Amino acid sequence: MKSYSLGDIASRLNLRLIGDPDCLIRGLGTLASANTGDISFLSNLSYLGQLANTSASAVIVEESQADAVPTNVLVADQPYVAFAYVSQLFAEQPQGVAGVHASACVADTVSLGEGVCIGANVVIEEDVEIGANSSIGPGTVIGRGVRLGENCRLHAQVTVYHGVRIGSRVNIHSHAVIGADGFGFAFDGERSIKIQQLGAVLIGDDVDVGAGTTIDRGAIEDTVVEDGVKIDNQVQIGHNCHIGAHSVICGCTAIAGSAKIGRYCVLGGASGMVGHLTLADGVKISAMSLVNKSISEPGTYSSGTGQMKVADWKRAIVRFHQLDGLARRVKELERLIEEEGRAR
């Protein structure tokens, strides 16, 4: 089990320590669940009431909350970010042994960098290049001509289609599919004719792709995911999309083809975006919202209605259908008032 002194953690993360530098930290926990030996954090003031009774051995807080902590304190400008770095100290990532498993099928023309680990039942087709210290999990399939950078991890049963290019330090979880055909068909009046998807997928450095996520290849131009993008589980990204650097796409989001998303955007869970639209840098979309027109200014945007009791919702739906008639009546009343005013 990993453990660090509080002084060591403070030094590694350049945080100010108030308390015992020799206090041993063995794990992490929430304010409510942490025990002796755990470190916790406070970034959301709605949990402030839990601070006084926490059993954590240390808590990461902003300067303004330091006096309220009943135990050791690490002071951070951004406690949640500091907690993220602490979590990396305690991560237990299984380390594979460099080399190719006996059951793997690797083409003769594949180039493997130093320290690459190829797991059981992996299939790697011709002319693939894999950078140093990358790990390919069991059952993963990598198509012809793929380029994979250094220090990447593809978990078990990932599928990467031909011609895809992936940067360094990219983490792709199980059952993700990168580079399948985009959904493109032309209807001739009787049947749908497939449009061949001739582009590829380009993924930058430091990208995370969640389990079960699909990123389709471009029809003509490539689908692009820039550096630092974080994509949750079960996300669908259509062909020719362009996701700007450091954007975050939350679970079950669907982005239709040729959508352009700027840098530092956030799409909340189960949101949707119509194809051929553009989001400016810094746009945030609330969960379960539909983007049906382009957004040119940064900010937070929502659509749909929040939860309510079903009886209230039914009444609201009836009133929604009455809005057009009400608008016409208001317009007519305004006309009559205007005419009456002129008559005077």
pLDDT in tens, 229-271: 999 999 999 999 999 999 999 999 999 999 999 999 999 999 9
Of 62-71, 72-81, 328-337, the least confident: 328-337
Domain membership of residue 139 (yes or no) is no
**Quick check: 167 and 204 in contact, CB under 8 A?**
yes
60 is in which domain, residue-wise?
Answer: 4-90
Q: What is the CATH number of the domain that holds 72?
A: 3.40.1390.10
Any alpha helices (H) in the chain, and if so which ranges?
Answer: 6-13, 79-90, 310-343
Is 164:183 a contact under the CB 8 Å cutoff?
no
Mean pLDDT (whole number) for 63-81:
96
Does residue 158 contact residue 174 with C-beta atoms inside 8 Å? Answer: yes
Comparing CA positions, the residue from 230, 88, 73, 222 lying closest to residue 161 is: 222
Q: Is residue 249 part of a domain?
A: no
Q: Name the average pLDDT for the chain.
A: 96
Q: What is the pLDDT of residue 236?
A: 98
Nearest-CA neighbor of 215 among 195, 228, 234?
234
Element (H, E) at 301: strand 299-301
Q: Does residue 14 lie in a domain region?
A: yes
255 in a domain, yes or no? no
- For residue 339, what pLDDT band results from cuts at 50, 70 and 90? confident
Residue where a domain terminates, one of 74, 90, 106? 90
Residue 95 reports pLDDT greater than 80: no
313 lies in some domain: yes
Q: Using the 3D structure, point to which of 64, 90, 116 is the last residue of a domain.
A: 90
The answer as to whether 161 is a domain residue is: no
Statement: residue 343 has pLDDT above 80: no
**Which two tokens mark 122?**
């992996």
For the residues 278-307, what does the mean pLDDT come to?
A: 95
Question: CB–CB of 26/9 below 8 Å?
Answer: no
- Which of 90, 111, 128 is the last residue before a domain boundary? 90
Average pLDDT over residues 132-153: 98
The answer as to whether 86 is a domain residue is: yes
Q: Which residues are catalytic?
A: 239
Terminal alpha carbon distance of the chain: 88
Q: What pLDDT sits at residue 72?
A: 97
In a domain, 32, yes or no: yes
**What pLDDT, on a 0 to 100 scale, did the predictor assign at position 102?**
97
CA 234/CA 63 separation, integer angstroms: 38
**Number of folded domains in the chain?**
2
pLDDT of 94 > 80? The answer is no
Partners of residue 223 on adjacent β-strands: 201
* Cα 123 to the center of its chain, rounded Å: 27
Lookup result for tokens 């320290």: 115
Beta strands in 87-200 (DSSP E): 99-100, 105-106, 111-112, 117-118, 123-124, 129-130, 135-136, 141-142, 147-148, 153-154, 159-160, 165-166, 171-172, 177-178, 185-187, 192-194
